[in-house]
Structure 1
Amino acid sequence: MPALPTHARAVRFDRYGDRDVLYLADIPMPHPAPGEVLVEVRAAGINPGETRIRTGALHDRFPATFPSGQGSDLAGVVVGLGDGVTDFSPGDEVLGYSWQRSSHATHAAVPAAQLIRKPEALSWPVAGSLYVAACTAWAAVHAVDPRPGETVAVSAAAGGVGSIVVQLLGLRGARILGIASSANSAWLTANGAVPVSYGEDLAAGLTAAAPGGIDVFIDLFGPQYVQLAVDLGIPPDRIETIISFELAARYGTKHDGSAVGSNREVLTEMADLAAGGRIEITVAAAYPLDHVRDAYAELEQRHTHGKIVLVP
């Protein structure tokens, strides 16, 4: 392989704040430590949790150390190996994740145990946005273990995580109530869900759509939905949230997120489902790395159907 450049480019921020704190910096080329792989990044998804880290909203749980990098999802080509790595070679196409907030860059050093080989059928944007959304969706569904025929309500059902949750529930034979804006009704219907528009009459809409009751509630948006699920009489152990940790603690609901599904087995399962066409990972938009602020501007509207990806 050709010699590596001496520097990489990476997204950085030096203080908590809005999108304008993000900038692109030249950094020394990462060096893979023992057990790590150096990846030339071809695509890296962005996620709502990164916005909350950047603004300081998650400081108590996930504090930033400045200057901070950003990003966990990635897919790319192996260009270097640390000592002891035997399961990858330079030139291998891989996908996976970094827990060092480093994937929004041209190159990232990543533990080999956090990577799998990219299936040939997956495009770079899909592979690079798979980890957080797919593994979070897997964890959310497994937390409440819906059975065939059960009725499951899903908030933010057409978003990056929600669209995968809906498809996983369909594979399980569940009856799905997809809470989203009316603009997403056609997609939800096409994927076997009953669309329910959010708003002041949501509780009535859910009751009308499921007169026999709702068995399971998966919240992917915020605390109002956990409260709604409790008010609807759904047992706490059949309520899952990936975001409303305070209410989850108060009511004793499930709160499994991507960390629960962060292993090669789950990542491989989800990549194989996507590569085999059993689930579709929708890419809503792709932005060059130096347009990272624009990418987050679109993400933070919270109406995107599917994933937004940075392409270095």
Structure 2
Amino acid sequence: MRALHVPEAGGQPVLGELPAPEVTPGHVLIKVRAAGLNPLDNVLAAGAFAERLPHIYPLVLGRDAAGVVEAVGEGVDHVEPGQEVFGNVPLAPPIQAGTLAEYALLPAATVVVKPAGLDFATAAALPLAAAAAVAAVDRIDPQPGQVVLVNGATGGVGRYAVQLLAAREVTVVATGTPDDAARLTALGATTVVNFTVGPVADQVRAVHPDGVDALINLVGYTPAEVPLDAVRKGGTVATTTMAPDADTLAAAGLTGGMVQAHPVRETTEPLAGLAAAGLLAVDVHTVLPLEQAAEGLGVLAAGKARGKIVVTFGD
């Protein structure tokens, strides 16, 4: 099968032939029709997690996929060959299997029957990013009428977070550029802060002098890059970037911390239903063939993605 993979530690992603995986107990083998790209793919390609999560090479990139069930392993009874599904390869050791390949092996716990109203590209854009947004929103537990800042709202996770917050009757302040403003407000943001013209915290405080009630932080890997000063004392922060840490939050009079996505079907199946019903917008911004998947990863690495990038496969 063709797969975008890292052939060896320290190597660059290449498109080449690898043996197709075989189905194993508790897993579902799918013929991939679309695979969603995530920033995590670049992290794994660089081997950044290799010290704490063993990597096995060749390492196939990609975490999210949608396709057609080829075979099911022992113990799998909720899907069957021929069904159209989507799912995720969790971040669990050893890191080797991925979805940027013509065939992918997914743990059954993440596999969901694709609603007829979603195409493969849309379904492949859901699992990791939407589950991360759910985890972040649940962590801050916003109440109707509160104000929440989403820092990094233009990416895949941010666009889901804006919608989930708006559905809870929250006033959403989102960071973006003027080019992003119309799309973010259409998703439910009340205010879009242009992060390119000055400190985000200062701009937020100009509109909300007492500070926002909570922050969902999706960009910035040091405390200095995270607009904590925008949050009122006693507010809550959920971050996907490992910054700020617990000590920094406590010093600022804030609570919260790091969140991780858990794209199991209990989380992603309801999201797919909302998307199929038109109640959750899945913002697929760019669709590429497998031959250009590495280019898509480059766009993500450069921070230039707007919405989701999805790689599609022919029949």
* Uncovered stretches (5+) of structure 1, i.e. residues with no partner: 1-7
Q: Distance in 2 between matches of 1:96 and 1:84?
A: 17
Which residue pairs with 2:208 in the alignment? 210
Which residue pairs with 1:14 in the alignment? 7
Which residue pairs with 1:254 in the alignment? 257
Which residue pairs with 1:243 in the alignment? 241
Q: By how many angstroms is 1:150 displaced?
A: 0.5
Secondary structure in structure 2 of the residue aligned to 1:254: strand
Q: Distance in 2 between matches of 1:245 and 1:60?
A: 20
Secondary structure in structure 2 of the residue aligned to 1:56: coil
Which residue pairs with 1:140 in the alignment? 136
Give the letter for the 2:213 counterpart.
Answer: D
For normalisation by structure 2, the TM-score amounts to 0.88
Q: Is the 8 A contact 2:41 2:297 kept in 1?
A: no
180-189 vs 121-130, which deviates more? Answer: 180-189
**Structure with the larger helix share:** 1
Which residue pairs with 1:4 in the alignment? none
Report % sequence identity: 34
Q: Distance in 1 between matches of 2:176 and 2:51?
A: 30
Structure 1 outlier segments of 4+, above 6 Å = none
Q: By how many angstroms is 1:229 displaced?
A: 4.1
Superimposed CA distance per residue, residues 40-67 of structure 1 (whole angstroms, 9 cap, x where no aligned partner): 0010101011112212333444453322
Which residue pairs with 2:151 in the alignment? 155
Label 1:239 to 1:278 Cα distance change in 2 as closer, same or farther (>3 A): same
227-236 vs 115-124, which deviates more? Answer: 227-236
Alignment equivalent of 1:81, drawn from 44, 48, 72: 72
Secondary structure in structure 1 of the residue aligned to 2:60: coil
Which residue pairs with 2:172 in the alignment? 176
Which residue pairs with 2:88 in the alignment? 97
Q: By how many angstroms is 1:133 displaced?
A: 0.7
20-29 vs 161-170, which deviates more? Answer: 20-29
Q: Distance in 2 between matches of 1:226 and 1:41?
A: 41
Q: Is the 8 A contact 1:12 1:22 kept in 2?
A: yes
* Uncovered stretches (5+) of structure 2, i.e. residues with no partner: 91-95, 251-255
Q: Is the 8 A contact 1:53 1:62 kept in 2?
A: no
Q: Is the 8 A contact 2:2 2:101 kept in 1?
A: yes
Give the letter for the 1:256 counterpart.
Answer: V
Label 1:143 to 1:96 Cα distance change in 2 as closer, same or farther (>3 A): same
Q: Is the 8 A contact 2:97 2:105 kept in 1?
A: no
Aligned residues: 301
Q: Distance in 2 between matches of 1:151 and 1:264?
A: 30
For normalisation by structure 1, the TM-score amounts to 0.89
Q: By how many angstroms is 1:127 displaced?
A: 0.4
Q: Distance in 1 between matches of 2:111 and 2:224?
A: 33
Q: By how many angstroms is 1:304 displaced?
A: 2.0
Label 1:167 to 1:246 Cα distance change in 2 as closer, same or farther (>3 A): closer
Q: By how many angstroms is 1:85 displaced?
A: 2.5
Q: Is the 8 A contact 1:221 1:243 kept in 2?
A: yes
Give the letter for the 1:9 counterpart.
Answer: R
Q: Is the 8 A contact 2:215 2:231 kept in 1?
A: no
Which residue pairs with 2:311 in the alignment? 310
